Structure 1
């Protein structure tokens, strides 16, 4: 089991450390909400499904309306629980169809970083940035390091960087990642207003 601090909540982080599917679902949820909220989502879903783990087969086969209601119950798992429920089910169906429901099989035998990036890009809901961040997270915190993984992860693979979820190991690094993201937003805003 890997020690993870993405949710900043003991039970949720423990699940992320032992469940490859929970890590993938947390990464999928990591948009338009604070990172801790996204990565505590898998634990909340597991609890509401009546267990202490996530199962791709169970989620894929769940009634879509009931699953959306499960994510929408207060406190909601995401700012957009309905659309995220659909995305999580699409991801789980893909994992069932392509990997026998085993999330870890996505990276277990990847021949190289480029191969792993390609596999992550094929996952529903994973664009280039999300795939590279997850690849960096696998390499930096889960010990999944096929040849060329840092290069395939782009700048997210850089050692000593504080850019994304891949770099969060506790409250201090979370604050550094937040500061980096705020600075990046400011720079984008400044560049846009300079162009007007």
Structure 2
């Protein structure tokens, strides 16, 4: 099953995310404090600077940290905070190299249950529970990775026909729906804070 993710809204970046499990994990890691498209274009930008056909966890893990941070900082920067995110990307790749032989897909390939897969994702550097649940929902909804109980393990992000996160984005229209959901959630949270004050 060949699936084309549309998270970067850029054909080349989305093609990389679709074929490279490591690129998808790095994009998810970068998806904070920047627009989603910027985060998910990051792996493609990184690949172009590193050269080669695909991202390699072992190679990234072994990079000199200062040189790697400089790579992410070149204009256009891979992230709003390229130095700290360079460190996180390297930590993720070092973990994958050490625990999964550098094979990002091994994180989910043989997971027997959704709970087991969620536990594996939460163990990844830079992945808290919410990020892990969103990525689990992305795997289940768009990439056909559906171990028993995956929707339950993904929490609200696993709900069908919802527009809560990147797991639900399949094009510009669904992107707009997810943005609207997030804006409404922020407004509600702000109103709640003001009510408590």
Task: Please give the range of the TM-score, normalised by the shorter of the 2 chains.
Answer: over 0.9
- Give the match for residue 130 of structure 2: 129
Q: Deviations over 1:129-183 (max 9, x none)?
A: 0000000000001100000000000000000000000000000000000000000
Q: Deviations over 1:70-103 (max 9, x none)?
A: 0000010000000000000000000000000000
Q: How does 1:152-163 map to 2 (within 5 A)?
A: 152-163=153-164
CA distance in structure 1 between the partners assigned to 2:159 and 2:5 by the alignment: 19
- Give the match for residue 83 of structure 2: 82
Query: Where in structure 1 do 4 or more consecutive aligned residues deviate above 2 Å?
Result: none
Q: How does 1:138-177 map to 2 (within 5 A)?
A: 138-177=139-178
Deviation at 1:61, TM superposition (A): 0.5
Quick check: 1:106–1:116 contact (8 Å CA) kept in 2?
yes
Deviation at 1:2, TM superposition (A): 1.9
Q: How does 1:32-181 map to 2 (within 5 A)?
A: 32-181=33-182
Unaligned runs of 5+ in 1: none
Q: Deviations over 1:6-58 (max 9, x none)?
A: 00000000000000000000000000000000000000000000123100011
State the TM-score, normalizing by the size of structure 2: 0.99
- Equivalent residue of 1:159, what SS? coil
State the TM-score, normalizing by the size of structure 1: 0.99
Unaligned runs of 5+ in 2: none
Quick check: 1:43–1:52 contact (8 Å CA) kept in 2?
no
CA distance in structure 2 between the partners assigned to 1:65 and 1:79 by the alignment: 17
